[in-house]
Each structure stands twice: as C-alpha cells, then as structure tokens.
Structure 1
C-alpha cells in the first residue's frame, strides 16, 4: 500500500468517494445480484415485508417492470432509487 498525502478537503472528499465506490462495486460483485428480482426477493433483500414492496411498486418512479409476465424489480435501478430517496448524499458526500 502506498502513502497518500491529502492537503485539501476536496482531495479528501475525492479519495473517500473513490474508495466507497470501489468498495460498493466489490460488494455488489461478491453478492452477485441478478438483474431482475421478484417482489418476494426484493422484500427479502431489503428486509421488509412483501406487503411493503407491493405498496412501493405502486409508487411512481419505483423500478418495477411487468414485461416478463410478473412484476419484476430492476436491481440496479432499485439501488439508485433508494439512494435518491435516502440521505445517502448527506452521509457519504463530505463536501461542505
């Protein structure tokens, strides 16, 4: 591991963001999430009830598709949807 000297908050922010993105990418690859999830699988992944996911699927903008006969959730869009609706930026983006 090489030594890194950070002299500004911008450099620190970039360094942390890069590290977080890399760690998240590795975690997602390790988890090997499928492209599409059933509503039941989505509920299990998020640790919520199936009723909650069925309600969420009715929210405009929720990443659900019915193109394959049954409701399916588009995994990468789900993660982005959650990020946009949470305090992700407040927690993970340190630029002040």
Structure 2
C-alpha cells in the first residue's frame, strides 16, 4: 500500500536510500566498492533503482520523507561488519536496516 502524503516517487526514494547505502559501503569497503562500481557512484545507486519494477518507479513512494530520513540515519549508523558481505554479492536490499525495508 502506498502512502498518499509522500511527495517523492518510488524511484526518487529508492535512489536516495541507495545513495546513502552506497556512501556507507564506499566508506567501509572501499576496495570491494571500487571493484564492483569503479568510480561511478551512480552505478551503485542504480542497483537499487534497477531492483524496482519499472511500472512502480513513477508511483508515490511507500515512505514519507521522515521515514526516508530515519532509514538514511540508520544506514549511517550501521557497522562496517554489517556491510562486509555486500561488496562481493549481488544483493541489494538484504543488508538494509529494518527501517528501510518499506522504502
């Protein structure tokens, strides 16, 4: 169910969350990040967007701005150990904090 009070599309929200996750990943696993994404940060955040079905990308985000902010804060608070496996996997949302699962 999508929340009507959100002002972002699902694509905008997932890109914002993805960018926060990618920044944390780059901070914690710079070598693995470089191997997987090179210097193209957009390539990393695109993995999140690409996991979203195209038909859902223009819909309103399931998360409002406050929920997205909480998700980003929780991503920044993650330990690097929580991200270690992500750098070498094809997973996108498996390592996200619970506050991000709705987004």
What TM-score does the superposition give when structure 2 sets the normalisation length? 0.26
Compare CA radii of gyration and give the structure with the larger one.
1
Q: Which has the higher helix share?
A: 2
Q: Which has the higher strand share?
A: 1
